[in-house]
Amino acid sequence: MKYISEKTFKMIAEKIESAESESSCELLAVFAKRSDDYSYIPILWAAIAALLLPAALYVLFPLSQPDIASFSFLQLLVFVLSAMILRLERFRTMVVPKRVKIKRAAQTAQMQFAVHGLNGADAPPAILFFVSFDERYVQIITNAKVQIKDNIWQEIIDKMLKRIKAGSLDSGMIEAVGEISEVMAQKCPAEPEDGFNRFPNRLIVL
């Protein structure tokens, strides 16, 4: 499934270029379909299901007494089938606890911030706009050279989350980048010596 259209890529690139021409800040936009493959989560749930099998059999069939070989086979079967089903694309993210998804998405955002050198001593004033789709996670991170209050960014984040939940990812990304651009122009206007473009003027997809 393609999550973002070519038209959206183009419009975001244009908005980033326009934003940086009117501001002393640089804007980096990053999109992740998912911040982790969570491969261990289905296995964990499958193991729990297999371990709970004795209790389930006792409740459902209190008079049955399967032999050890049959019981071991049932446990193995439950484990394998559960793991296979829960690893399917449509189920995998559903079985991941919300706090785990949020933590992993936040870590990925911070990693992207560091990987692109936004927190380096020689980095220009920079803003990272990060969206992780499956986790329904949006974050805006700035380095110490950008003095903008968090509540301004939170309003943009809240709007973006509503757009994702409403199924408006493309328009939401474009509008969010546009809103960030307006904040950049107002709070960090361009200065005469600006003009060095360190980061790509496009949406980066992980």
Q: Report the C-alpha gap between 85 and 43 in whole angstroms.
A: 10
**What does the pLDDT average to over 135-150?**
88
CB-count burial class (<10 Å; 0-12, 13-18, 19+) for 101: buried
- What is the pTM (predicted TM-score) of this model? 0.80
What residue spans in the chain does CATH classification 3.10.310.50 cover? 6-36+97-205
For residue 1, the model assigns a pLDDT of 47
For residue 127, the cross-strand partners are 27, 142
Mean pLDDT of the chain: 84
Burial 167-192 (b: 16+ CB within 10 A, else e): eebbebbbbbbebbbebbbebbeeee
Strand, helix or coil at 3? Answer: coil
- Which CATH number is correct for 6-36+97-205, 1.20.1560.10, 3.40.980.10, 3.40.640.10, 3.10.310.50? 3.10.310.50
Q: What is the pLDDT of residues 78-124, one digit of tens each?
A: 888 888 888 887 777 788 888 999 999 999 999 999 888 888 777 78
Number of C-alpha atoms within 13 angstroms, CB side, residue 111? 10
**What span, in angstroms and rounded, lies between the C-alpha atoms of 139 and 106?**
8
- Is residue 71 predicted with pLDDT exceeding 80? no
